[in-house]
């Protein structure tokens, strides 16, 4: 039997604050997985299509026989193409949409709004 067991009681305001902190932490976790890992869920299919098309144009200009289907779906083949792009540009080939990768994608002529959208999602992680 445990002696001197203390019960902690919290009021509604404290409960709401704890819940809010948990929700923010959960949001940051899922955003970090989505943005910095391999699934930018916040991008519209048309935006993914533009990234895929930009990657295809890049590979064609380098005479590299890689082509990702530009279908607007972020899947394993798009991730592999992104990794190859990163490798060819001297970046860590991790398939993550970090700031260095975004900068290189911008140089491909990817719409600035898409790059800003990705950057905004990353910035939200640290709010």
> Is the alpha carbon torsion for 82, 84, 88, 90 positive or negative?
positive
Q: Is residue 3 part of a domain?
A: no
pLDDT tens, N- to C-terminus, the chain (127 residues): 455 555 556 667 766 676 666 566 555 555 544 444 455 667 788 888 988 999 999 999 999 999 999 999 888 899 899 999 999 999 999 888 778 888 888 888 877 777 777 767 666 655 5
- Looking at the 3D structure of the chain, how many domains does it have? 1
- Whether residue 6 is contained in a domain is answered as no
Residue 31: which domain range?
A: 12-124
Considering the domain boundaries, does residue 2 fall inside one?
no
Whether 5 is covered by a domain: the verdict is: no
């Amino acid at each position: 039997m445990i002696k001197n067991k203390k019960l902690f009681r919290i009021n509604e305001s404290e409960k709401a604050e704890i819940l809010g902190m948990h929700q923010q932490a959960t949001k940051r976790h899922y955003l970090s997985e989505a943005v910095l890992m391999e699934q930018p869920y916040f991008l519209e299919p048309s935006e993914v299509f533009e990234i895929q098309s930009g990657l295809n144009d890049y590979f064609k200009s380098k005479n590299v026989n890689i082509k990702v289907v530009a279908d607007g779906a972020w899947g394993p083949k798009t991730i592999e193409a992104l990794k190859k792009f990163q490798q060819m540009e001297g970046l860590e080939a991790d398939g993550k949409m970090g700031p260095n990768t975004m900068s290189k994608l911008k140089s491909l002529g990817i719409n600035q709004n898409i790059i800003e959208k990705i950057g905004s999602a990353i910035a939200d992680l640290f709010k």
